[in-house]
Structures are given as structure tokens and as C-alpha cells.
């Protein structure tokens, strides 16, 4: 399952602070948040062929833009290294975010992954 592999690959970058969907309000910085964008399954005339692509958004959060940018770069290196668990078919940088209420910065990438 790609989701479990994502946690295993990314956790060492942030001391295990990898979250799906939303991080807890008291989560320490820096941290990574993963959101599933879409999941496509492959079909043939005989039915499901066993393949499943996953598109995710990976947000690197930090207390400064430089901290978020550095973490996003480290995550990019991990995400674009082919492994037995998945390979990355595409990677697109998304707009950066600054949250006025939390004073946190985010650098985001969208990845399409194949098993």
C-alpha cells in the first residue's frame, strides 16, 4: 500500500511528523501533511488489472519560508527516488502558502505515484 510506504519514506525527515489530511493543532514544526487528490485504477476487458496510481499533495510546513522550502526539497529527493514500493510519474510545484492565523509557511508539491 503506497500510503504506508509514504509514511516510512518521509518520517525520518521530520521525526515521524507525517500526517494524512490535517495535522493536529499542536503538531510541532516542521511537519509534512499528505492529502489524496485522486486514485486511478487500471482496467482491461477482463476487469481490474491490479494497478493503481495515486495522486497526492504533499505540504511541507515550517515556521519560516526557508524551513518549509528546505523540507520540501528534502521530501522531493525522497519522493523522486524509485523504490520497490512506488515510483513517481510526475511532480508539480504548487503555490506557496502563508497562514496569517498560525504564522506558518507551506511549500507544496503534487505527485503522481505508481506501484
Domain edges within the chain: 2-114
The Cα–Cα gap between 2 and 58 comes to: 14
CA distance 2 to 55: 11
User: Domain 2-114 classified CATH 3.30.2010.10?
Assistant: no
| Res 40: pLDDT | 72
Q: Over 90: is that where the pLDDT of 64 sits? A: yes
pTM above the 0.85 mark?
yes
pLDDT tens digits, residue range 1-18?
788 999 999 999 999 999
pLDDT digits (tens, 9 = 90+) for 5-62: 999 999 999 999 999 999 998 999 999 999 999 877 667 777 776 667 899 999 999 9
Amino acid at each position: 500500500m503506497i500510503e504506508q510506504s509514504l509514511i516510512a519514506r518521509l518520517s525520518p525527515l521530520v521525526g515521524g511528523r507525517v500526517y494524512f489530511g490535517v495535522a493536529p493543532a499542536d503538531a510541532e514544526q516542521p511537519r509534512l501533511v499528505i492529502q489524496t487528490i485522486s486514485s486511478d485504477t487500471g482496467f482491461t476487458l477482463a476487469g481490474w488489472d491490479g494497478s493503481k496510481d495515486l495522486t497526492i499533495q504533499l505540504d511541507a510546513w515550517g515556521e519560516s519560508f526557508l524551513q518549509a522550502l528546505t523540507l520540501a526539497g528534502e521530501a522531493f529527493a525522497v519522493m523522486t527516488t524509485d523504490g520497490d514500493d512506488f515510483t513517481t510519474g510526475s511532480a508539480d510545484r504548487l503555490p506557496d502558502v502563508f497562514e496569517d492565523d498560525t504564522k506558518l509557511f507551506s511549500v507544496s508539491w503534487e505527485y503522481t505515484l505508481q506501484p
